[in-house]
Amino acid sequence: MAGTDWNPWRRLLALPNESRTKTVIVAFLVSAISAVLVSSATVVLRPIQTANRAAEEQARISDLVRGIPGMAALLEDSGGTLSTVVIDLERGRAAQDITPETLDVALTDQANWTVLEAGDDLAGLGQRPNFTQVFLLREGEDISLILLPVTGQGYGGRIDAIVAVHGDMNTIAGIAVTQHSETPGLGARIEDPSWQANFPGTLIRDDSGDVRFSVARGVATTDYDVDGITGATRTSSSVTRMMRFWLGPQGYGPLLDAIGRGEF
């Protein structure tokens, strides 16, 4: 009976479980079906997830601005929206022919990325885009607030945050963490409003222009420090390095200088 059955599926099922052919085929089928399942779930659900993340980032940005004293009124005056500008990081000015809409496309081109030397790569990124999008709040002609997206390698994964800097381009007005995967209960406290409340008023650079900002070990002692997070030394120092990288010469340094000189 078995010899007359030419249906390959039934012949496969009839094989003893220990046979090598069946082992390989079962392993292959299980992985293939699982792969299809996982991929289709990811593909089908991705648009919703992207929309969620974008909405969340928008919410955090407006929360950040509203949380800074005096900014809510200014935001209302400007029609409730921030102006979005794509920045050429190397030149420290607005990019010539890239708009926020074309930024994503531009960044798929490897030519628009700079590979970082190990010594410069404080934030652990490996490479840095040459163009990023920042948000400005103007009061008349003057810039009264600038929101700078920053990113860096944390303890558990990439940390994304937005730093708000006052018009003097040296005083931090606030921070919002938009994405992280730090240890819940320890490093994840970078999300806590009580910790983020340390940031407003902290200075970035000293008179000689060096970035002095850091997350202290323990309680902040100087104007350039914010309190550390107990039990999250690695996360704290990641935040320090991320901030120093992005506010330094490799990051937004040239832009902050240019704005400070009134060239923007």
The piece of 22-30, 69-77, 103-111, 158-166 that touches another protein (CB under 8 A) is 22-30
What letter does residue 261 receive in the DSSP assignment?
A: T
- Helix and strand numbers (H, E) in the chain are 7, 10
Determine, following the binding rule CB under 8 A, whether residue 185 of this chain makes contact with another protein: yes
CB nearer to another protein: give 24 or 219: 24
First vs last Cα of the chain: how many Å apart?
86
Query: What residues numbered 186-205 form the site for another protein, per CB under 8 A?
Result: 188
CA-to-CA separations, 1 to 8, 9, 15, in angstroms, rounded? 14, 15, 14
Determine, following the binding rule CB under 8 A, whether residue 52 of this chain makes contact with another protein: yes
Query: What residues numbered 83-142 form the site for another protein, per CB under 8 A?
Result: none
For the bound state, the minimum distance from the C-beta of residue 100 to another protein, rounded and expressed in Å, comes to: 23
Binder to another protein among 4, 7, 17, 108 (CB under 8 A)? Answer: 17
For the bound state, the minimum distance from the C-beta of residue 55 to another protein, rounded and expressed in Å, comes to: 9
Binder to another protein among 26, 59, 115, 219 (CB under 8 A)? Answer: 26
Question: Can you tell me the distance from the alpha carbon of 224 to that of 91, in angstroms, rounded to the nearest whole number?
Answer: 26
For the bound state, the minimum distance from the C-beta of residue 121 to another protein, rounded and expressed in Å, comes to: 26
The piece of 82-90, 138-146, 180-188, 241-249 that touches another protein (CB under 8 A) is 180-188
Contact 74, 81 (CB under 8 A): no
Quickly list DSSP for 3-53: GG---HHHHHHHS-TT-HHHHHHHHHHHHHHHHHHHHHHHHHHHHHHHHHH
Task: Give the bridge partners for 147, in sequence order.
Answer: 135, 164
Structure tokens at 86: 């794509």
Determine, following the binding rule CB under 8 A, whether residue 59 of this chain makes contact with another protein: no
Compute the chain's Rg from CA coordinates: 25
Binder to another protein among 5, 56, 76, 223 (CB under 8 A)? Answer: 56
Determine, following the binding rule CB under 8 A, whether residue 31 of this chain makes contact with another protein: yes
Question: Can you tell me the distance from the alpha carbon of 52 to that of 46, in angstroms, rounded to the nearest whole number?
Answer: 10
The piece of 45-53, 145-153, 202-210, 213-221 that touches another protein (CB under 8 A) is 45-53
Determine, following the binding rule CB under 8 A, whether residue 58 of this chain makes contact with another protein: no
CB nearer to another protein: give 23 or 221: 23
Determine, following the binding rule CB under 8 A, whether residue 230 of this chain makes contact with another protein: no
Alpha helices in the chain (DSSP H): 8-14, 20-67, 71-77, 100-106, 193-196, 233-247, 253-260
Determine, following the binding rule CB under 8 A, whether residue 18 of this chain makes contact with another protein: yes
Q: What is the dihedral of CA 75, 202, 95, 72, to 10 degrees?
A: 0
Residue ranges that bind another protein, judged by CB under 8 A: 13, 17-19, 22-23, 26-27, 30-31, 34-35, 37-38, 41-42, 45, 48-49, 52-53, 56, 181, 184-185, 188
